[in-house]
Amino acid sequence: MRKRSFEYGLRRVIGEILGGIVTSAFVNSFLNAGLLPPAYATLFSILNMLGTISLILAMPFWGTTYLIGWLFGLWIMLQTGLVGVGEAIIYFGVPLAVLIVRIF
């Protein structure tokens, strides 16, 4: 499999979203059990936003087939309920805008 191909983009979106779900579950479990102070929830939210911003800034440099794989994988994750509507708008909108700019 070629790096930056459709399949690679598909695998990346699924891996990143599942990784985020697992990380969130661990952090929430530790917070609810009192093993982490509440300030860590704020820190985790800030780091999550920074990760999203860096991902968005990198999208214009992805290959076209990779972007299409990303969108397809994200669509699958949205249909199964693993991605919220707000996240989907961001993660669909930016790559779609990049593809439209490339076409025109």
The answer to whether position 97 is within a domain reads yes
List of residues 6+ apart from 51 with CB closer than 8 A:
none
Q: How far apart are CA 73 and CA 21, in angstroms?
A: 15
Host domain of residue 34: 6-103
Global confidence as pTM: 0.62
The answer to whether position 57 is within a domain reads yes
Q: pLDDT, tens digit, for every residue of 48-74?
A: 778 878 877 887 888 888 888 888 888
Q: What tokens were used for 68?
A: 């299409």
The answer to whether position 1 is within a domain reads no
The answer to whether position 13 is within a domain reads yes
The answer to whether position 40 is within a domain reads yes
Q: pLDDT, tens digit, for every residue of 6-62?
A: 888 788 878 887 887 888 888 889 889 989 888 888 888 788 778 878 877 887 888
Q: Which secondary structure element, helix H or strand E, spans residue 35, and what is its range?
A: none
Q: Domain count of the chain? A: 1
The answer to whether position 80 is within a domain reads yes
Mean pLDDT along residues 88-102: 84
